[in-house]
Structure formats: structure tokens, C-alpha cells
Amino acid sequence: MVCPGRKKGAPLAFQACYEKAIQYHEQKMWLAALPYYGAMLELTERSLGLFHPQVGNALEAISTCYRMIGRIDDAIQCLQRIVLVRELNNDGSPEKNKEAFATAGLLSELYIQAGNLSLAKELLFKTEQIARSAFGESSFERGRALCAYSGCLELNSEHLESERALREAISLDGYINSTISSEKFAASNALYNLGVLLFDRQRFLESIPYFQKSLELKVASGLPIPESDRTEIERFIEACESNHQLQSSGLPIPPANAEESTLPLPPAVASTEVA
């Protein structure tokens, strides 16, 4: 098979397309990489079929390029097809379940970026149910799905349901008590997010333990803690204490500066970062 669409020179074989795509990808030249990934996709479809797992991998690379250049709608179209391909190839193994779970999470994140909260909410609700079935009632994956669902609900102004979902996430043993460092750090962010939700609702004393637990869990993860994160959590605790005193005295509460917050909102199910 050869790489279609070449304007000059001899056609490229699949391996040559792959090498070019990786070269441009590593240089973050997303537009330059797209034609080579597209050629790889077409060649894979011709040789292996429209729903082969390798088709999903090629689409994932194309989706990444689209995301990095801000073509969110095109990235969504790729991910919608990836979800179908991976559902059809899911044999129920932990590896396949995690792959499908991550894809659905990324698609829901892009729905949110595109402003389609209804589709994001529907997909995240389904993802939480899948996580419960595939990974277990108290699994880390279910906790992560609930956190993402909480974030979507909060954006949709469903504040009570958002808080409920986040509380349920941090109540799960496999989520809050994970022994994996990166998962501990993710759970610490969920605790922080709940603290912020309560702070925004002026439930100051109630929010303090969540900020404290968040910092404790970050330390317990063993991962480096940005000084800005530590400082921000400490500032929130101080603000909770002073605002509670004002509240108890019947004095006005100063408005919070939302722009000062640098720690993450409730995380998406899956975070896909490009080096």
C-alpha cells in the first residue's frame, strides 16, 4: 500500500507516512502531521477494515492534531467514531475497558469545550455507569467519572447535584484511598474542588477540612507540590476562617476573586496531554 495524496515524487509507503507523522508530531507541527495521519488512516481502512482497532489509533492521532489547532468540532467527529470502534472491539478485558473509558471521557471534555453541556452530561452519566460495571462500585475510575460529572453539572448550574456527585466520588475507597501517587494527587484535587464549591456557597467552616485534607493527600502522594498550590490552599483556609467570623458577626463578606484560583476544576474522566 502507498500513501495517497502526494503531489510530488514517488508515493510513500505506510512506514514512511508513519515516520513523517511522528516527526511532525514531536515538533508540534500539527497541520503538517495531519496529511500523513490521514493517509495512514485511509491505508489502514483499506487493508484492515473500517472498524479495526488500528483505525481507532489513527483517528486518535488525528483528533489530537485537531485539538491542538483548536478545531474542536473536527476532533469531536473523530472521537465519536473512535468510541464506536472501541466499543465494537471491547472484549471486556481491563485494558480495553480503560481504553474505552478514557475515550468517552475525552469526548465529554470536548463536548464541554464546544458548549454542548447536554451531550457532555449524558455521556458522563453513561460513563459513570460503565465505570461502576467494568471497574467496580468503589473504583478509582468511578470516582473520576463522578468528578467529571460534577464539573459538568456545576457548569450547567445544577449546584446541588454537582455537590452530591463530588461527595459521592470522595466517599469511594478505591478513589480516595488509592495507593498510586498520580491517583492520590487527582483525589486531592477533588477534595480541593469540594472545598471551593462549599466556599462559594459561603459554607466556610464546612469547607476547611476539605482544603486541609487536599493538602495532606498531595503530600502523601509523594509527588512535587507546586508552591502556588500550597499557597492557594492556605489562603483559602485563612479566608474561610476570617469570612466565618464576619458571617457570625453579621458583617458583609468580601467578594472572592475567582481569577486568583489556579488549581483545577473538577477533572475530566481522562486527561490526555501532548508532550
CA distance 74 to 110: 10
pTM of the predicted structure, to 2 decimals: 0.82
* CATH 1.20.58 fits domain 181-248: yes
Domain boundaries, the chain: 9-89, 181-248
Show the CA angle centred on residue 102, arms to residues 180 and 179, nearest 5°.
Answer: 10
pLDDT digits (tens), the chain, 275 positions:
334 444 455 567 899 999 999 999 999 999 999 999 999 999 999 999 999 999 999 999 999 999 999 999 999 999 999 999 999 999 989 889 999 999 999 999 999 999 999 999 999 999 999 899 999 999 999 999 999 999 999 999 999 999 999 999 999 999 999 999 999 999 999 999 999 999 999 999 999 999 999 999 999 999 999 999 999 999 999 999 999 999 999 999 988 664 445 444 444 444 433 33
- Which pLDDT score is estimated for 223? 96
CA distance 160 to 153: 9
User: What crossing angle do the helices spanning 117-135 and 94-113 adopt, rounded to 10°?
Assistant: 160
Say if residues 109 and 130 touch (Cβ distance below 8 Å): no
Say if residues 12 and 20 touch (Cβ distance below 8 Å): yes
Tell me which long-range contacts 224-229 makes (C-beta under 8 A, separation of at least 24): 228/262, 229/262, 229/263
User: Which of 3.30.2320.30, 3.10.180.10, 1.25.40.10, 3.10.310.10 is the CATH number of 9-89?
Assistant: 1.25.40.10
CA 123 to chain centre: 13
